Structure 1
């Protein structure tokens, strides 16, 4: 019902994920992330948001992505209907696809990268998303968007797409969490939302709010004046 990508930017260590589905609200259902800890994507015919949150907690306690996925999946009697992928802060990955997942279903793992999907037109969707991310020289978040676009071009969710999401977490920036919950063109809408988030005044405001590596950040008066002027000009 969904395809997703989780990745770690090798140059910066920033973590991110993107997902798209033929159903509603893919961001709320699938993607989870904590800066400095990891990312997760929990999806499937009967997905468990508890899986996504659980593997993050385990990785936060020091487990690798692979071990966290194994520990989360093993005791769940409903695991055959679920799919889970995880990425830890070191770039390690783990993935599970339940035996009752609607085909085409599977995952592709690499160093700092995991792509997963189910109810796809074919497994070439996974390979196209992976290859597009690896081939791109765009900024990190845009490489994730390129992966979604490539997966759609290769066949996508067999029902078409209704929703898409992007999540990027970093200790030096506020979370970038963008969601298109219902649209006839969710990938285009997500890209437009991303571009808006990179423009002023929103981008400037993100530069002055507290972040993990500067939790008591206080904006300078002149910065707030500029932001106020930019906001007024957009009104």
Structure 2
């Protein structure tokens, strides 16, 4: 039902998640990020609570990702139905796929990233993601989306995907990117990429608006003087 990649940019320290699913509004349930702490994708038969629980453990107990993941799974029921990936602010990773994960499932850790999925067309879908992330140029969002396109080129899910999301945190306490395609009859990843291309040249402007409104550029919309 879902495949995703969590990743970190070594140059900026940004953390991000790109994810797609056959289910509606995957971005509402599965990606969890916290500035300076880490990123968690909780998927398959999703328990959204695992995201903030693991981030709390990373932040407040200073556990490494594998230990934080184990503790959170152990504190919740039905762990064998979950698939979870974690990266921390240092780039350390962990992942878990329960034995009740749906269909063909797989997870792979790469340099500064970890990818996972279930109900896959094949394990090559996930195997393609970490190399694509590592070899892609551009911002973290571009690299995460390159991994998603590589997954689709390798077969994607066993059935059609309908939603996709991209979420990134940087230096601020809020996400600097939070883009979602909650439902599309076809190609939600392509539509998400198009949304990112439209947002990318404006991203820093919205940070500037928040921090110093007097320096914010105008976009010529009504009331935006």
Asked if 1:128 corresponds to 2:132, the answer is no
What are the equivalent positions in structure 2 for 1:67-78 lying under 5 Å apart?
Answer: 67-78=67-78
Q: Provide the residue aligned with 1:104 in structure 2.
A: 104
Question: Aligned to 1:117, what secondary structure does the other structure show?
Answer: strand
RMSD: 1.9
What are the equivalent positions in structure 2 for 1:85-234 lying under 5 Å apart?
Answer: 85-172=85-172, 174-175=174-175, 176-183=177-184, 184-200=186-202, 203-209=204-210, 217-220=211-214, 223-224=215-216, 226-227=217-218, 230-232=220-222
Question: Aligned to 2:201, what secondary structure does the other structure show?
Answer: coil
Give ranges in structure 1 of 5+ residues lacking alignment. Answer: 210-216
Contact 1:173 1:207 in 2 (8 A): no
Contact 1:15 1:39 in 2 (8 A): yes
Q: What TM-score does the superposition give when structure 2 sets the normalisation length?
A: 0.92
What is the CA distance between 1:77 and its match in structure 2? 3.2
What is the CA distance between 1:74 and its match in structure 2? 2.1
User: Based on CA coordinates, which of the two structures has the bigger radius of gyration?
Assistant: 1
Q: What CA distance in whole angstroms lies between the structure 1 residues aligned with 2:54 and 2:206?
A: 32
Q: What CA distance in whole angstroms lies between the structure 1 residues aligned with 2:18 and 2:91?
A: 16
Q: What CA distance in whole angstroms lies between the structure 1 residues aligned with 2:173 and 2:143?
A: 18
What is the count of residue pairs matched by the alignment?
221
Asked if 1:49 corresponds to 2:48, the answer is yes
What is the CA distance between 1:203 and its match in structure 2? 4.7
Q: Provide the residue aligned with 1:13 in structure 2.
A: 13
Q: What CA distance in whole angstroms lies between the structure 2 residues aligned with 1:80 and 1:230?
A: 52
* 1:131–1:82 distance in 2 versus 1, CA, 3 Å: same
Question: Aligned to 1:207, what secondary structure does the other structure show?
Answer: helix
Moved more, 114-123 or 164-173: 164-173
